[in-house]
Structure 1
Amino acid sequence: MTDEIKLLMLAGDYVEDYEIMVPYQALLMVGYKVDVVSPGKKAGEKILTAIHDFEGAQTYSEKPGHAFTLNATFDEIDTDDYIGLIIPGGRAPEHLRMHPRVLEIVKAFADRPLAAICHGAQLLSAADIIKGRTVSAYPACRPEVEQAGATYADIPLTDAVTDGELVTAPAWPAHPAWLAQFLTVLGATVTI
């Protein structure tokens, strides 16, 4: 695989730390070039992350994460340069869905490899691209998934689901399954 095979990742402040760091590093490791962008930001600027954990409360807890340095400029993105899209979760999708250009980008990948995890389903719903599909997401996003006309996949936090070229999962504990399924959709083969 060459560095010319590019993936795009949409992120924003308070993206879930593991859900940006782990897929970014794992996809680089297997040879993809991953451009990470955020509305209004340029390459070299940073976004803040949040660490979400499952500690027995009614919902996840949130702690400060890292500052993630973006490596591409949002306003310069041409979706035709990328073979796939990654949408990490956390609180970022909540505000990213308010940007029309973000929704245009998500729509451009409706029929291409697309991986969304956790609250990333909020962008899928807002872009109106999941009607009739099976989609997993953080359980609190179930109403949005169903209101968008999709079937919510109620699966364990460690699982993922693939529907065509769309790979979704409920949260970062699903990284092994989610990333493996996304690599399959991308047509990648990892050998040991």
Structure 2
Amino acid sequence: MENTKKVLFLTGDFAEDYETMVPFQMLLMVGYEVHAVCPNKKKGDTIKTAIHDFEGDQTYSEKPGHNFQLNYSFSDVNPADYAGLVIAGGRAPEYLRLNKEVLDLVRHFAENNKPLAAVCHGIQILTAARVVEGRKLTAYPAVGPEVELAGGTYVAVEATEAVVDGNLVTSPAWPGHPKFIRAFLDVMGAKIELDQPIRLASV
């Protein structure tokens, strides 16, 4: 990858397990320096994640996930230092969107036209920050009315899809990670070239 840059990754207690673990690891894999943060927590602290799944009920079920260790302190974040922001979904956005610092952070990326990505319920933070007006985006379907109320256009797509509108990348849920992260990398201007095969350690 050319021009390795910093990405800020926002998550919190009871964020969705896959939507925290997978994007974080994928962005590290391609060479970004990723700072995973949560308000009122510091580097080395952990968050509890939750697993959302669909098992025939009218909505998703929720089970305990992994503990995820943060690698940076929220209080040390300077948004000007980051090329892009990714927001995890799950239940965490319900309370994270009540934090003024979180909303100001999101507005920095929106107002400066920096790559901004959110998955599933993470879009609740975008609507609370009032950065979706006039934009096309997707979200977990239950968040669709919030998108419309905030002045955005909700685009209903399959859970495996992603929607891109300029610097904004969104996806309905974790099944969309391949297209979601691919789209985010495109918006970031990432160029990934494997000029040599990946060599695994022999045992």
> What TM-score results when the alignment is normalised by the length of structure 2?
0.92
CA–CA distance in structure 1, aligned partners of residues 153 and 131 of structure 2 = 13
The 4+ residue runs of structure 1 with deviation greater than 6 A are none
CA–CA distance in structure 1, aligned partners of residues 181 and 192 of structure 2 = 12
- Does the Cα contact within 8 Å between 1:23 and 1:179 map onto a contact in 2? yes
**Per-residue CA distance 1:70-114 (angstroms, 9 max, x = gap):** 011111100011000000100000000011000000101102101
* Aligned twin of 1:41: 41
CA–CA distance in structure 1, aligned partners of residues 102 and 166 of structure 2 = 22
* Aligned twin of 2:52: 52
Alignment of 1:56-95 (within 5 A): 56-95=56-95
Q: Deviation at 1:4?
A: 5.6
Q: Deviation at 1:23?
A: 0.5
Q: 1:113 aligns with which of 112, 115, 123?
A: 115
CA–CA distance in structure 1, aligned partners of residues 69 and 2 of structure 2 = 23
- Does the Cα contact within 8 Å between 1:3 and 1:33 map onto a contact in 2? no
- Does the Cα contact within 8 Å between 2:41 and 2:73 map onto a contact in 1? yes
**Per-residue CA distance 1:45-88 (angstroms, 9 max, x = gap):** 00000000112211111100011000111111000110000001
- Does the Cα contact within 8 Å between 1:3 and 1:31 map onto a contact in 2? no
Q: Pick the structure with greater CA Rg.
A: 2
Amino acid corresponding to residue 81 of structure 1 in structure 2: D
* Aligned twin of 2:143: 141
For the structure 1 residues 4 and 181, does the alpha-carbon distance in structure 2 shift closer, same or farther, using more than 3 Å as the test? closer
**Per-residue CA distance 1:113-167 (angstroms, 9 max, x = gap):** 0110000110000000010000100000011110000000100000000000100
Q: Deviation at 1:191?
A: 3.5
Amino acid corresponding to residue 63 of structure 1 in structure 2: K
In structure 1, list runs of 5 or more residues that go unmatched: none
For the structure 1 residues 34 and 136, does the alpha-carbon distance in structure 2 shift closer, same or farther, using more than 3 Å as the test? same
Q: 1:178 aligns with which of 174, 180, 184?
A: 180
* Aligned twin of 1:152: 154
* Aligned twin of 1:104: 104
Amino acid corresponding to residue 181 of structure 1 in structure 2: A
* Aligned twin of 2:12: 12
- Does the Cα contact within 8 Å between 1:130 and 1:150 map onto a contact in 2? yes
Q: Secondary structure at the match of 1:71?
A: coil
> What TM-score results when the alignment is normalised by the length of structure 1?
0.97
Q: Deviation at 1:190?
A: 2.5
Q: Secondary structure at the match of 2:68?
A: strand
CA–CA distance in structure 2, aligned partners of residues 101 and 157 of structure 1 = 30
In structure 2, list runs of 5 or more residues that go unmatched: 195-203
CA RMSD of aligned residues (A): 1.2
Amino acid corresponding to residue 47 of structure 1 in structure 2: I
CA–CA distance in structure 2, aligned partners of residues 37 and 63 of structure 1 = 22
* Aligned twin of 2:198: none
